[in-house]
Amino acid sequence: MFTATPPRVHPYTVVRVMANSAGSHLAMRHQLRAAQLAVSNACASSAQAIGEALWLLRCGRADLALVGGSEAMLNTGSLLGWQAMGVMAPLDSDAPEQSCRPFDDARKGLVLGEGAAALVIETEDHARARGATPLAVLAGYGHSVDAVHLSRPDADGQVRAMTAALRDAGLAPADIGYINAHGTATEVGDAVEAESISRVFGAGAVPVSATKALHGHLIGAGGALELVATVQALRRGALPASAHVRSSALAGQVDLVTGTSRATQARTAMSNSFAFGGSNVALIATLP
């Protein structure tokens, strides 16, 4: 008989994969000693971290915060797990780079991505004291939980998050000039989000696009990266297109930006992050 030798596990495996690992590395590198909070809330993680940091600044617990998220999903275990759920897009044999098609009639699922994004947010007084010029104002944060299903999205929960963000920012739906949708390219997910957006803003009332078609689904890091994309869209006066859309019945519910970028004079936008587990986060940014 032969005894199989168990595979050698790296001694740092646990501390590499723990949720607060990235934050701990940043704290050590930059000697950030005040406090650290790691938000682990699936696909809404980094968006919720940004919102919670906003509340810390508002209540006087901090003057400045480094916020963001990172995720490394391109490994065998993660790929097999997501594939087993039946939510990953099959390879488009004619155009592999177009396999992820949010809001398209023929969408078949998400494509995993990998990456990170970080932002520095601070109080207005702190920014003025150091002579900083802000890129944008983080104006609103809304969050909710569906309490319905672990993986099936719920329009009611998403509506609650978006309306909470508007209320937090003191804005009306008509004030929002663009929405960066969660838009994962799953059949149910995109349809539910189109419904929830139309319920809050009215059918076709606000331009919408999903950038995951280009950078993939970064899971916990997605909210931070998509907020960066949202801010840059406002600053550059160009709304990114929802790539790879060939036809979309959902365009009857939302004003879907397709083809090429769309020029805009909008000064306020919303970024949505809706997670497995029913966690929903909406962030609102405005130009200063």
Verify whether residue 126 is a known catalytic residue: no
Tokens at 205, concatenated? 């009332």
Residue 177 forms part of a structural domain:
yes
Lowest mean pLDDT among 34-38, 181-185, 196-200, 215-219: 34-38
Distance CA 212, CA 88 (A): 13
Residue 4 pLDDT > 80, yes or no? Answer: no
Reported confidence tier of residue 13, pLDDT bands at 50, 70, 90: confident
Catalytic residue, candidates 143, 182, 215, 244: 182
Residue 268 forms part of a structural domain:
yes
Of 201, 32, 171, the residue nearest 181 (C-alpha): 201
Residue 2 pLDDT > 60, yes or no? Answer: no
Residue 70 forms part of a structural domain:
yes
Residue 168 forms part of a structural domain:
yes
> What distance, in Å, lies between the first and last C-alpha atoms of the chain?
72
Residue 1 pLDDT > 60, yes or no? Answer: no
Tokens at 107, concatenated? 């969408």
Verify whether residue 217 is a known catalytic residue: yes
Q: Strand pairing of 114-122 and 238-239?
A: unpaired
Which position has the higher pLDDT, 179 or 4? 179
Structural contact between residues 117 and 228, judged by C-beta atoms closer than 8 angstroms = yes
Average pLDDT over residues 171-177: 98
Residue 14 forms part of a structural domain:
no
Average pLDDT over residues 214-226: 97
Residues in contact with 138: Cβ distance below 8 Å, sequence separation at least 6, in sequence order: 50, 54, 121, 283, 284, 285
Tell me, what's the pLDDT at 3? 60
Residue 17 forms part of a structural domain:
no
Task: Report the percent of the chain where pLDDT is more than 70.
Answer: 99
pTM, rounded to two decimals: 0.94
Which position has the higher pLDDT, 19 or 263? 263
pLDDT digits (tens, 9 = 90+) for 73-113: 998 989 999 999 999 999 998 999 999 999 999 999 999 99
Verify whether residue 43 is a known catalytic residue: yes
Reported confidence tier of residue 5, pLDDT bands at 50, 70, 90: confident
Residue 229 pLDDT > 90, yes or no? Answer: yes
Reported confidence tier of residue 6, pLDDT bands at 50, 70, 90: confident
Q: Angle, to 10 degrees, between the axis of helix 45-58 and the axis of helix 222-236?
A: 70
Residue 29 forms part of a structural domain:
no
Q: How many domains are there within the chain? A: 1
CATH code of the domain containing 142? 3.40.47.10
Residue 4 forms part of a structural domain:
no
Domain extent, residue 256, equals: 39-286
Catalytic residue, candidates 100, 143, 215, 217: 217
For the chain, the residue count is 288
Residue 9 region by backbone torsions, left for phi larger than 0, else alpha for psi between -120 and 50, else beta: beta
Structural contact between residues 244 and 190, judged by C-beta atoms closer than 8 angstroms = no
In the chain, DSSP finds a helix count (H) and a strand count (E) of 9, 10
Tell me, what's the pLDDT at 48? 98
Lowest mean pLDDT among 17-21, 189-193, 271-275: 17-21
pLDDT digits (tens, 9 = 90+) for 27-53: 999 999 999 999 999 999 999 999 999
Catalytic residue, candidates 43, 100, 143, 215: 43
Tell me, what's the pLDDT at 266? 98
Reported confidence tier of residue 16, pLDDT bands at 50, 70, 90: confident
Residue 65 pLDDT > 70, yes or no? Answer: yes
The residue behind tokens 């907020």 is: 227
Distance CA 240, CA 220 (A): 21
Task: Round the average pLDDT of the chain to a whole number and report it.
Answer: 95
Reported confidence tier of residue 257, pLDDT bands at 50, 70, 90: very high
